[in-house]
Each structure stands twice: as structure tokens, then as C-alpha cells.
């Protein structure tokens, strides 16, 4: 089993590294890069919704804040790309802490409403602060990433292959961090708050503080996803903070399997590809998509990830049982 896991990891790594050489269609490559972005975005959302158990509707705001932060730094202040990109996450985190400080003291439903209001207000700011954000037109012509590496010169990321490897590195780092977070004492404390807040507090867990941490980390990665998107599509506009993203994220997280890393990754990939794939039948696209969502909810209430865990567990139980009988 151990060896199998390692083999799967190596195989998966080789497959991911060789992807740009296997995929010839630039359109498919674009969808793959997009799904990479959404993996980061959905994982960051799952920290708040899945692990913390709070329905935050502020995520598109952090996505937009990350995007505008790095774009404005690069275009208005001529900050090098890497520095601007590195500022996107922390900026979203700081704003999240300011919003979370009052909002995370509220009950579940009030928290949802306050974060919804925050998303709407943020979008209004993008539209109306014309001197800074160029208003509803957005900012076109965002420069592509230029990464200065000491001794090696500058790496210009302009091709889809370049973007692919860039987003792959980001996805791997995000997954690694979230894996470490969830399996640490901090992750354990977060789960305890979700399961039973009174008991968690009785055991010495400062629920408010851990909510702030999780909310901030979620915003941090959403900011990174937003910033990458802006530099990838070379545009940033108010639609980065569109409420549409909430629907998309909820589908990915819940149908993928909230509270599981592999489930959310799968959910993000499947629900990026599926709508694109369904373009082959423009008439039935929405009908089929709707049916898939319905069937998933009915037959996999724990999401794709939950189903996989369930199947694996049953298989393990069966082999254990067989070993016990012999």
C-alpha cells in the first residue's frame, strides 16, 4: 500500500510535468490552467466553509482584492511582478482580518449576510473609484509575469506552457500548506470548533482567534488566485468580485466534498471542465449540467471526495474482514 502510494505520487508528478507536451490544443491547455486557478480558489474557500464551517460569501471580494493589488502595484507604481504578486495574498489577508474582527463574532446567518454585504460593497468600490480602478471598464493590458531570477536572468511567462508550470507550482504549494495546516494542531482546533464550539472552548480553544486565522488564510489564497488570474488573462475588472463565483465555489466545494482536500481538488477540476465540455450541445448544456448537479447531490451527499473515502473504507474493511476470517 505504501509503495503503491509512492508510485502513484511519482506517476502523477510525471503526468503533470509532461502535460504541456501531451496536450496539443491551446483551448484545452487554457481550461487546464483555469482549473488550476480554481483548485487554489476552491481549496481556500473550503478552509472557511469546510473546515471552519462558516458560510462566508466574501470570497469573491478577496479574489478581486488580490487581483487589483498586484495589478495596481505593477502598473501604477512599477513594482516588479514577483513583489506585487507576493503582496496580493497578504493584502487580502489584512482586509479579511479587518472584516472578520466584527463579523466572526456574529452567528452563522448574520456572518453570511455581513460577508455578502462586503462582497457587494467591494464590487461597488471597483466600479466607482474610477481614478484608481478605471471603473466598470476595468484595467486592460495587464503585463504578463516577468520573474527576475538571480544569475539566470529574467523569466518571461507568456506562453500557456509557462503559465501552466507557474500555476502548477502554486497549486502544489497551496495543497502542501493546506495539508500541513489541516493535519496540525491548528487544524485539529479548527475541527473541534466546527464540531462543538462549547466543548472546544471548555478545552481551552479560543474559537474567535482560530476563526480569524482560518478566515485570513482562506482570503490569502483567494488573493493569490485572483492575482494570478489577472496576470494570466491580462485584465482586471469589477467582475472579479462577481457573486457568480460564490455559486461556482459552492458547487466545487460541496459536490467535490467539503472538508477533504482531494475531494475539493477533484470538484474544482470536474466543475471547470464539465461546463466547457458541455458546449458541444448548446441547447441542452444547462439541462445536462443541472441534472449532473442534482444526481451528484442525491447519490453522493458527501461529494465526490466523500464517495471515494467511503469506497476505500469499505474495501479496507472487506480485506481486513477476509484476513480476520482466515
Residues near another protein (CB under 8 A): 177, 180-181, 184-186, 188-189, 191-192, 195-196, 198-207, 213
Closest approach of Cβ 189 to another protein, in Å?
7
Question: Whose Cβ is closer to another protein: residue 161's or residue 192's?
Answer: 192
297-325 burial string, b = 16+ CB within 10 Å, else e?
eeebebbbbbbbbeeeeeeeeeeeeeeee
DSSP state of 152: T
* Residue 155 three-state SS: strand
Question: Whose Cβ is closer to another protein: residue 146's or residue 262's?
Answer: 262
139 backbone dihedrals φ, ψ, rounded to 5°: -115, 110
Question: Whose Cβ is closer to another protein: residue 130's or residue 195's?
Answer: 195
Instruction: Give the whole-angstrom CA distance, residue 145 versus residue 309.
Output: 39
Closest approach of Cβ 203 to another protein, in Å?
5
Q: Can you say whether the dihedral through the CA atoms of 289, 290, 291, 292 is positive or negative? A: positive
Closest approach of Cβ 200 to another protein, in Å?
8
What is the distance of C-alpha 123 from the center of its chain?
A: 20
Closest approach of Cβ 21 to another protein, in Å?
35
Question: Whose Cβ is closer to another protein: residue 82's or residue 205's?
Answer: 205
Closest approach of Cβ 182 to another protein, in Å?
10
How would you classify the pairing of strands 235-236 and 153-156? unpaired
Question: Whose Cβ is closer to another protein: residue 201's or residue 239's?
Answer: 201
How would DSSP label each residue in 95-140?
A: HHHHHHHHHTTS-HHHHHHHHHHHHHHHHHHHHH-HHHH-GGG-EE
Closest approach of Cβ 195 to another protein, in Å?
5
Amino acid at each position: 500500500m505504501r509503495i503503491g502510494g509512492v508510485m502513484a505520487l511519482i506517476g502523477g508528478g510525471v503526468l503533470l510535468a509532461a502535460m504541456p507536451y501531451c496536450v496539443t490544443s491551446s483551448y484545452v491547455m487554457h481550461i487546464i490552467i483555469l482549473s488550476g486557478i480554481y483548485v487554489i480558489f476552491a481549496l481556500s474557500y473550503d478552509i472557511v466553509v469546510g473546515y471552519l464551517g462558516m458560510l462566508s460569501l466574501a470570497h469573491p471580494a478577496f479574489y478581486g482584492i488580490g487581483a487589483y493589488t498586484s495589478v495596481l502595484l505593477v502598473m501604477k507604481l512599477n513594482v516588479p511582478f514577483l513583489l506585487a504578486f507576493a503582496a496580493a495574498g497578504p493584502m487580502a489577508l489584512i482586509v479579511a482580518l479587518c472584516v472578520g474582527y466584527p463579523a466572526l463574532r456574529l452567528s452563522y446567518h448574520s456572518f453570511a449576510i455581513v460577508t455578502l454585504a462586503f462582497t457587494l460593497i467591494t464590487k461597488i468600490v471597483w466600479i466607482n473609484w474610477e481614478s484608481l480602478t478605471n471603473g466598470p471598464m476595468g484595467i486592460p493590458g495587464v503585463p504578463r509575469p516577468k520573474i527576475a531570477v538571480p544569475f539566470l536572468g529574467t523569466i518571461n511567462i507568456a506562453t500557456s506552457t509557462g503559465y501552466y508550470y507557474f500555476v502548477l507550482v502554486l497549486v502544489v504549494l497551496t495543497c502542501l500548506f493546506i495539508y500541513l495546516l489541516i493535519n496540525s494542531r491548528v487544524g485539529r482546533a479548527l475541527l473541534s470548533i466546527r464540531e462543538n464550539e462549547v466543548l472546544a472552548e471548555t478545552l481551552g480553544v479560543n474559537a474567535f482567534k482560530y476563526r480569524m486565522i482560518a478566515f485570513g488564510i482562506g482570503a490569502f489564497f483567494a488573493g493569490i488566485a485572483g492575482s494570478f488570474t489577472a496576470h494570466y488573462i491580462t485584465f482586471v475588472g469589477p467582475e472579479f468580485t462577481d457573486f457568480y463565483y460564490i455559486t461556482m465555489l459552492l458547487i466545487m466545494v460541496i459536490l467535490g466534498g467539503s472538508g477533504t482536500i482531494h475531494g475539493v481538488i477533484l470538484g474544482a477540476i470536474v466543475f471547470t471542465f464539465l461546463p466547457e465540455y458541455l458546449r458541444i450541445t448548446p441547447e441542452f448544456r444547462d439541462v445536462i449540467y443541472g441534472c449532473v448537479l442534482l444526481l451528484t447531490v442525491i447519490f453522493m451527499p458527501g461529494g465526490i471526495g466523500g464517495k471515494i473515502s467511503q469506497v476505500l473504507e469499505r474495501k479496507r474493511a472487506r480485506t481486513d474482514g477476509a484476513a480476520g476470517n482466515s
